Structure 1
Amino acid sequence: METPSDSEQRQPTYPLLRIMGSNAFLLSVIYLILGISVEAVRRVYPTRFVQRLSLSLDSLPARALEFLGWMEPLRAKYLNGQIPDYQVRLIFGVTTVVIIFLLAFAVGLLVGSLRGYMERRALKKHSQRRPG
């Protein structure tokens, strides 16, 4: 009789963690590609729609930085010419990637907790039905 190999028997230790990480990575890549594309189009063909899209993409990291109290110093340095435009974009991009990862892990933990609760509840119901 054939036995499955060790690699086939082993389950990933934290499959939910792997899924959360890969989803967050994918969303981050999509956001960054979209941001770079919008910024490139904004510089070449600055329509009202593209400018609004750029502002909407910037609103999430701007609010997060505002919440942390880091937006005012960043704004002051940018307006004084101490920080170039690309560094502000880089800071906004990194901030957004961090937010995406935090949200992905928070949602994953919530879903994992709910799943564990439902499994425990189902086991409890199943064990109560059995005569013991």
Structure 2
Amino acid sequence: MWGNAFLLSVLYLLVGIVVELLRRRSSSPTVARLSMALDSLPARALEVVHGLEPLRAAYFDGRISDLGVRVLFGIVTVAVIFLLALVVGAIMAVLRWAVLRAASSKGGPPQS
């Protein structure tokens, strides 16, 4: 579970770095849309916890740079991916426990 979350986080961040480099070198609408799509996950997560408006205000006031926003978005994205991995892992553990408990009450392991 931790390995998958780590791998997904690294992959997401690598794709984000490549897209950001492409965005800075070219003004393609496709790259701009891809950049906005990658930014939507951390932006929505910050919006849910009421952190997007203070971040937006800090950005427009000049208290945080583009790089600062990117780093914050990266941290939020990694946190969201790890949280999702934990939730899915917990659900799978509960389902496995329920299947094993049901199988043990019937007198044997589940047949595959």
Residues of 2 paired with 1:72 and 1:116: CA distance?
42
Residue aligning to 2:39: 58
Q: TM-score, normalised by structure 1?
A: 0.80
Residues of 1 paired with 2:32 and 2:63: CA distance?
24
Mapping of residues 31-110 of structure 1, within 5 Å: 31-110=12-91
For residue 63 of structure 2, give the secondary structure of its aligned residue in structure 1. Answer: coil
Shift of residue 34, structure 1, vs aligned partner: 0.3
Aligned length: 108
Residues of 1 paired with 2:104 and 2:21: CA distance?
55
Mapping of residues 25-36 of structure 1, within 5 Å: 25-36=6-17
Residue aligning to 2:92: 111
Alignment RMSD, CA only?
0.8
Shift of residue 111, structure 1, vs aligned partner: 0.6
Deviations 1:69-125 (A, max 9, x none): 111011011011111100000000000000000000100000111011001101101
Mapping of residues 8-27 of structure 1, within 5 Å: 20-27=1-8
Amino acid at match of 2:57: A
Amino acid at match of 2:34: L
Residues of 2 paired with 1:46 and 1:24: CA distance?
32
Amino acid at match of 2:9: S
Larger Rg: 1
Q: Give 5+ residue unaligned stretches, structure 1.
A: 1-19, 128-132
State the identity %.
53
Q: TM-score, normalised by structure 2?
A: 0.94
